[in-house]
Amino acid sequence: MPDPMTRRTFLGTAAAIGAATCLPALATPPSRRLIVGRRTIEVLGKSAEVYGVTGGNGRAGLLLEPGERFSVAMQNALDEPTTVHWHGMTPTPELDGIAETGYVAPLGAGEVRNFDFVPRPGTHWMHSHHGLQEQSLLTAPLIVREADGLDAQEVTLLLNDFSFRNPAEILAGLTGQGGMAGMDHGSMGGGTAPMDHSAMAGMDLNDVEYDAFLANDRTLDDPEVIRTERHGRVRLRIINGASATAFWIDLGARDATVFAVDGNRVQPVTGSRFPLAQAQRLDLLLEVPAGAVVPVFARREGDVARTGIILAAPGAQIEKYAGASEAAEAPVDMSLEQRLIAATPLGARPVDHQLMVMLGGAMAPYTWTLNERTWQQRQRLEVKPGQRVALEFMNHSMMAHPMHLHGHHFQVTGINGTRIAGAMRDTVLVPPMGSVSVAFDADNPGRWLYHCHNLYHMMAGMMSELVYV
């Protein structure tokens, strides 16, 4: 089995592709600052040292106003290298915040790097693309507001999965280099209720057994309570920043309207339960009436574990909510994806170039591939500038894979062979033994990563490149 990717592999690959280039100097000083550092949080009554990305105001991540440029000086305050990918942004490739394609080296300890580009509006996020730092919570929101006229209180919810173990130990357990310590075998992730195997027969779920699931760094033992403003209208921006966990967003008896996914507007869809794969985002509009309390639960697929935040009208009494449900949640599915229609789809034009990627692998041995190759032996996809590209992901494995393409947003055009005029996205879930077709315009020349956004699948080989020729 090929070795999983390590920090040395990342650096070696970047060097082999070409010498790292220097970013051009900015004409004006950056208007914003981001600091990558360490912080301590409390999880289940225990302290844990994790990473974080904070702005000059000390808050996690970045919030840009309508029309504001992404003009940022990022400082690495760690004693180790890092990278931060601007997930959902479409800058030129040297500003993508990664090192694997060789445009820039990782950000060294103490180094400051400047970024300047026009951001995409919407709900996005930032996360490390260096080794396993993402698992240690090197994640943060990246919100670009729009002048959209919505009269609503904005609330951002960042979801993470959390372990007190070192992520390297988790990966070693999965790949068989450290026993079976990291494997969950599709079980409870710490829960106690039996799983409904009739709903999950043959599927692989939940590679990793986690200690907790976090909503804005907190569990349901001590959730964040957000008091709503007088009119009770809330725009809820939900980001799945978990490394290996898909969730169902569950509002109980309260309905909400989906109006954007991955930062892109869709025609409104109403419901109370919504699937959310790793790296995807969901914008909801909902009402919290006077005196009401609306728990926003994120329920882990195939598990009883849940986390969440509480939306509460002024003066409403808050009850305690358990961190586990009575029954295990179903696997995340394509039920929402099938209903989504892009508010601004790709323009109509013929397809110039067709590509297919086969997703493969298994839990044992723990190797995950694209077109039967790992990252080290990757077979790149090639496109030409200006082409309309049709790309089909065919999943030949028993596990779902959230596939992310850097530097582009694509339209979902088919699910399991059925044509749809679906959402514009940057990350799409490909179901077990199923297929998803997408289309995009090749309008951002360079070398771009595409990969599964389950961190451990990526590290075990499920990453490759799309290259303009």
Coil, helix or strand at residue 2: coil
Per the structure block, which two tokens stand in for 434? 């199923």
Q: Which CATH architecture has domain 353-468?
A: Sandwich (2.60)
Block means of pLDDT (10 residues each) for the chain, 469 residues, are: 40 39 66 96 97 92 97 98 98 98 97 98 98 98 92 96 98 77 40 38 86 98 94 96 98 97 98 98 97 97 98 96 95 98 97 98 95 97 98 98 98 97 98 98 98 98 98
Q: Look at residue 28 in the predicted model and tell me its pLDDT.
A: 80
| CA distance linking residue 460 with residue 464, whole number of Å | 12
Per the structure block, which two tokens stand in for 450? 């595409």
Kindly state the DSSP code that residue 243 receives in the 8-state scheme: S
Torsion angle, alpha carbons of 378, 381, 384, 389, to 10: -160
Q: Look at residue 57 in the predicted model and tell me its pLDDT.
A: 85
Coil, helix or strand at residue 323: coil
Kindly state the DSSP code that residue 344 receives in the 8-state scheme: S
Single pTM value for the model: 0.92
Radius of gyration of the chain (CA): 21
Query: Which of these, 257, 242, 38, lies nearest to 150 by C-alpha position?
Result: 257
Q: Look at residue 56 in the predicted model and tell me its pLDDT.
A: 80
| CA distance linking residue 42 with residue 310, whole number of Å | 19
Same fold, 161-332 and 353-468: yes
Neighbouring residues of 236: CB distance < 8 A, sequence distance ≥ 6: 155, 157, 256, 283, 284, 285, 286, 296, 311
Q: Look at residue 22 in the predicted model and tell me its pLDDT.
A: 54
Point out which residues pair with 293 in neighbouring strands: 312
Report in angstroms the alpha-carbon separations of 251 from 232, 256, 270, 278.
15, 8, 12, 19
Kindly state the greatest CA–CA separation across the chain.
61
* Superfamily of chain region 7-148: Cupredoxins -  blue copper proteins (2.60.40.420)
Backbone angles phi, psi at 409, to 5 degrees: -120, 140
| CA distance linking residue 84 with residue 54, whole number of Å | 12
Per the structure block, which two tokens stand in for 376? 């080290």
| CA distance linking residue 167 with residue 179, whole number of Å | 14
| Dihedral of alpha carbons 90, 59, 239, 245, sign | positive
Q: Look at residue 19 in the predicted model and tell me its pLDDT.
A: 37
Taking a C-beta distance cutoff of 8 angstroms, is the pair 183, 209 a contact?
yes
The residue type found at 326 is E
Concatenating the DSSP letter of every residue in 122-186 gives EEEEEEE-STTGGGGT-EEEEEE--------EEEEEEEEEE-SS-HHHHHHHHTTSBTBTTB-TT
Q: Look at residue 178 in the predicted model and tell me its pLDDT.
A: 53
The residue type found at 196 is D
**161-332 in CATH: which number?**
2.60.40.420
Kindly state the DSSP code that residue 374 receives in the 8-state scheme: -
Per the structure block, which two tokens stand in for 294? 């609306």
Domains of the chain, residue spans = 7-148, 161-332, 353-468
Taking a C-beta distance cutoff of 8 angstroms, is the pair 348, 411 a contact?
no
Q: Look at residue 25 in the predicted model and tell me its pLDDT.
A: 62
Backbone angles phi, psi at 94, to 5 degrees: -70, -10
Torsion angle, alpha carbons of 435, 436, 442, 446, to 10: -60
